[in-house]
Amino acid sequence: MGAAILLFLGVGVGLHLLLSPLRDLELPAAVKAMTLVLGLALSVMGLIGGYLVARMPKERVQNIAEYIENMVRHGTVGLVLSENQADALGRLGHAVNHYMTFVKDEIEQSSLTAKERQIQIKVLEAEHRHIESVIHAISDGVIVTGAFGDLLLANEAAERIFGFRFETAIRKPIEEVITDKSFLGLLQDMRETGLFVPHRTLEWVQGSGDQARIWRVVLNTVVEGKKRERISGAVAVLHDVTKEKEIAKMKSDFVSNVSHELKTPLASIKAYTEMLLDGEIKEPTQVRECFQTIASETDRMNRLIQNILNLSRLESGLVPVNKTDLAVTEILRDVGDVITPQAAQKNLSMETDLAPVFFRVNGDRDMLYQAILNVLSNAVKYTPNGGKIRVSTYLSDGSVVVEVADTGYGVPQEELQKIFEKFYRSRHSGKTAPGTGLGLALVKHVIEVIHGGKVTVESEVGKGSVFRLSLPAVR
Amino acid sequence: MVRRILVADDEAPIANAVAMKLRNAGFEVAVALDGQEAYERATAERPDFIVTDLQMPGMSGLELSARLTAELAPGIPTILLTAKGFELEPKDLEGLPIRCVMTKPFSPRELLAAVQDVLGEAVAL
């Protein structure tokens, strides 16, 4: 701007000088007019020229400045306006272009490196998460403590076992996280003697009584140092063996029970045999009775062994199951044929209410026959002379129910579940019922485990019992 | 003097066999087929000796002996018969007048001998 004014002024002054001596001369008007026009043209050109000249570097500079600011605003890196001129500004533009290119390369390089790092981090994070989820998926409890007994890692199973949240417990002293003293004692032992016994397996009982859970705990010390002389922590893995122990105990109880049940008839056999051999028994009728007892006790033992084997094989899945769609009513008729004479011997009246519609279930004929036979046999066995037994079938909630009701001795409330246990024989008037005590155990296994049904019993001592076997109906 | 023995066992054949053996040997024998019956007869008749099964419905042989000892101190000498011998521990028998534990199957001969031993001791005393 300033340059333009100066130029304008300069040209103007020049013109004035040019024009003033001319005024004094006697020149023709045309010449005077021409010089005036020339003068004006000069001043205008000078004006424009000055303006342009003044404007050019400034505009260029401004353009360049604006362009750079734009790039900053949009965060891009690029070339400035192409500068072809060889002047100072042109060279500056050139240099700036060069620098921009350099900067752009550097930025791209950093960007690439940053992206690579990002990817690496993501991969590591994914691996870390994967390992964590693997540890959390382990159904055994895993607890890792540091050198000073601080909690470093615990998986979901461990959280459930001890009732804490790892995210709030991390790095806390283990005594603050786990309150069970006996378990803490195990960890303490580990810290004290871990260098000598770095690996140990023990059983830990959590809780007591019915609620107790038994854990097999495998403890390992984490050691560091060239000579492995420093304990840097401990790892505990807890495996739930409660069920295993229960099963082991049940097996042991079973063997014990079987042995007891077999020794009883054996004792009779031995006693009478010995006395007969010793000539203790004088009277012939008595002798005959003794032999009779020996014979029946022998049969009893045999039945017992058979039943135990049957039930055992059934429970082990060794007996092939042949299921077909069959009518429950047919089985009831077959069982009825066997039971009716037995009931008649005790003067028991048998009532049947088998619905005319043939309800069908999908089941193994022989097994269902045995189950229903056992229930009916019990009804006969446990009902005193002159009593009543009623058998009925009906449909209820998509299941076929076989109901056996008797007017027998009944079962006390506290024994209602026990009667399904192996070898359990209900007592009435102080006498043990004849039989093996396995009948209902078989019924329960066949109906519930093999056929997916349900066995229920209602009973009142002195009044009688009602057994219901329900099986899913088949359309 | 005729010695009276109470035999208790929920298995009738065994109770009868023992009773027969002891009767043949000159004892007077009463038979009970469960713990409660045995307890009632023992308190009523005060036998000199008891031969009882361990596992009986209602009251076990041990319980029987314990209750009788409490009520009829010093208690009645007893022989325990059981199919589960290995489950009994010495402390279970503490303070009870159980002179002998025999496992089933048992020999009636040995049982008689044991009874005679114990009663023989008592006589000697």
Q: pTM surpassing 0.80?
A: no
Express each pLDDT in A365-403 by its tens digit. 999 999 999 999 999 988 888 899 999 998 888 899 999
CATH topology of domain A245-315: Helix Hairpins (1.10.287)
Region A320-337 average pLDDT: 91
Contact assignment for A272 to B13 by CB distance below 8 Å: yes
Asked if A34 and A42 touch (Cβ cutoff 8 Å), the reply is no
Express each pLDDT in A416-456 by its tens digit. 888 898 888 776 644 555 677 889 999 999 999 999 999 99
Contact assignment for B83 to A260 by CB distance below 8 Å: yes
Q: Using CA atoms, how far apart are residues A248 and A267, in angstroms rounded to an integer?
A: 28
Contact assignment for B33 to A272 by CB distance below 8 Å: no
Q: What is the ipTM of this complex?
A: 0.91
Residue A278 touches partner B, C-beta closer than 8 Å: yes
Which domains, and CATH codes, for chain B? 4-124 (3.40.50.2300)
Instruction: Provide the residue ranges of all domains of chain A, joining segments of one domain with +.
Output: 2-74, 138-240, 245-315, 323-472
- Give contacts of A271 with chain B, Cβ < 8 Å: 13-14, 17-18, 21, 105-108
Superfamily of domain A138-240 in CATH is PAS domain (3.30.450.20)
- Give contacts of A269 with chain B, Cβ < 8 Å: 105
Q: Using CA atoms, how far apart are residues B38 and B6, in angstroms rounded to an integer?
A: 8
Q: Using CA atoms, how far apart are residues B13 and A298, in angstroms rounded to an integer?
A: 12
Helix A328-345 × helix A365-381 angle, to 10°: 30
Region A189-197 average pLDDT: 78
Asked if B114 and B79 touch (Cβ cutoff 8 Å), the reply is yes
Q: Does domain A323-472 have CATH number 1.10.3720.10?
A: no
Q: Where are the alpha helices (DSSP H) in A346-445?
A: 365-381, 439-444
Query: With b meaning 16 or more CB within 10 Å and e meaning fewer, what string describes B12-29?
Result: ebbbbbbbbbbebbebeb
Region A310-326 average pLDDT: 90
Q: Pick the range with the lowest mean pLDDT from A79-93, A104-118, A176-190, A267-281.
A: A79-93
State residue A292's pLDDT score.
92
Minimal Cα–Cα distance from B16 to chain A, Å? 9
Residue A297 touches partner B, C-beta closer than 8 Å: yes
Name which of B17, B58, B87 is nearest A271 (Cβ-Cβ): B17
Contact assignment for B58 to A430 by CB distance below 8 Å: yes
Summary mean pLDDT of chain A? 84
Q: Using CA atoms, how far apart are residues A388 and A405, in angstroms rounded to an integer?
A: 8
pLDDT class of B88 with cuts at 50, 70, 90: confident
Minimal Cα–Cα distance from B17 to chain A, Å? 7
